[in-house]
């Protein structure tokens, strides 16, 4: 699975936006690896804010003096078992500087890829099965039913 992601931020008090897309290889879809409903939580990797807070003013939230304020982890979804891709958008915390860095985002995406690889390896351990059997009647069965089978056949032919 490929993971494409980007972080964009407008100049000023705007929060950065992380956009991601997880794209499965076609053969991975064939393995029916669980995804969507079993989303991955990456603790403390993505500082999260609600979708309606696209900007943060000085003195508020992560820019405030309130040391109790903490960012929350977010849910990053993988494609469902029969989906080929999943995409999402996450607001990150504002950071000072001309070109703020988000190294934890890169690490989290590597963790996401590693989690996916583990799920694929696990699915690959379950091999294919194509077996069939035929069970014939036992000799005892044939001996005990032989007279009835002959009589039934004769009565149908009359």
CB atoms inside a 10 Å sphere around CB 18: 23
Residue 66 has pLDDT above 60, yes or no: yes
CA distance linking residue 15 with residue 61, whole number of Å: 12
From CA 105, how far away is CA 110, in angstroms rounded?
9
What pLDDT sits at residue 115? Answer: 85
User: In which band, very low, low, confident or very high, does the pLDDT at 154 lie, cut at 50, 70 and 90?
Assistant: low
Average pLDDT of every residue of the chain: 81
Is 60 exceeded by the pLDDT of residue 72?
yes
Q: What is the pLDDT of residue 55?
A: 83
Please compute the mean of the pLDDT values over residues 83-110 and round it to a whole number.
85
Q: pLDDT for 34-53, tens place per residue?
A: 776 445 555 544 455 655 68
């Amino acid at each position: 699975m490929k993971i494409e992601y980007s972080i964009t931020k407008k100049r000023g008090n705007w929060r950065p936006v992380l956009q991601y897309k997880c794209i499965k290889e076609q053969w991975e879809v064939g393995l029916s690896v669980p995804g969507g409903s079993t989303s991955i939580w990456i603790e403390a990797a993505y500082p999260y804010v609600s979708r309606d807070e696209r900007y943060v003013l000085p003195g508020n939230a992560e820019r405030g003096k309130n040391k109790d304020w903490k960012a929350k982890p977010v849910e990053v979804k993988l494609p469902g078992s029969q989906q080929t891709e999943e995409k999402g958008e996450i607001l990150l915390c504002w950071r000072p500087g001309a070109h703020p860095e988000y190294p934890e985002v890169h690490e989290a995406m590597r963790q996401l890829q590693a989690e996916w690889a583990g799920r694929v390896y696990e699915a690959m351990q379950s091999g294919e099965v194509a077996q069939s059997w035929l069970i014939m009647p036992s000799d005892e069965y044939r001996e005990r039913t032989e007279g009835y089978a002959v009589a039934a056949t004769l009565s149908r032919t009359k």
